[in-house]
Amino acid sequence: MDLENQRRVLEFSEQYGAENVVVLLGAAEGEAAGLAAETVTLGDPTWAGPLAGVSLGLSVFHICEPEVKAEIDPDVYDEQISMMEMVLDVDDICNEMNAIRDQL
């Protein structure tokens, strides 16, 4: 995850409390989604950014996961996300996200 984004996630979790922050990802690949999810939960696996060694344990989802989709107005989802849903390997992304969450 981009170092600047790591810094912003860290600041938000300090400002609002980790239990009040949900991270919503839009990564196009399962692996990239998993890495970002790992960064905001267990810590930066690359040990390069502000979240290196910092386990925030934040709630994290990908926009294409069914739990998130169920929360969004179907018309808005169709307009904003449906095309990408057709393009992405949603199963792979969900598997990666679940694998990270299972470690918490």
Partner 1 sequence: MADYSVIKASSYVLAHTPDMVIHNGTTQTTEMVVNPDSDYLKELPGHLRSYEDCLSYIPNQAYIGNVTNDELRAVEFPYYDKKASEPLRDGKYGEIMPEDEFYGLMQICDVFDLVLLEKEFAASVKAKLSAWGMLKEEQLSVLDKNQWDEEALSKLVNEEHAEGLYLNFKLVGCVKRAHDVDVNLSAHTMLENIVSKTSSVQAILNLIRKTGTDPESIDYVIDCCEEACGDMNQRGGGNFAKAAAEVAGLVNATGSDTRGFCAGPAHAILNAASLVKAGTFKSVLVTAGGCTAKLGMNGKDHVRKGLPILEDCIAGFTVLITENDGVNPIIRNDIVGRHCVGTGSAPQNVIGSLVTDPLDRAGLKVTDVDKFAPELQNPDITKPAGAGDVPEANFKMIGALAVKRGDIERTELPAFIKEHGLVGWAPTQGHIPSGVPFMGPMRDMILEGRMSRGMVIGKGSLFLGRMTNLFDGVSFVVEANPGKTEEASGTAAPAVSEEQIKALIAQSMRDFAESLLK
Name the residues that contact partner 1, by CB under 8 A.
Answer: 28-29, 31-32, 35, 46-48, 79-84, 86-87
Q: Which residues pair with 61 in a beta bridge?
A: 24
Q: Which CB atom, from 47 or from 71, has the smaller least distance to partner 1? A: 47
The phi, psi pair for 82, rounded to 5°, reads -60, -35
Distance CA 83, CA 52 (A): 34
CB of 87 to partner 1, least distance (A): 4
- Residue 37 has a CB neighbour count (10 Å cut-off) of 27
Q: Which CB atom, from 35 or from 58, has the smaller least distance to partner 1? A: 35
* DSSP helix/strand/coil, 74: helix
CB of 53 to partner 1, least distance (A): 12
CB of 19 to partner 1, least distance (A): 27
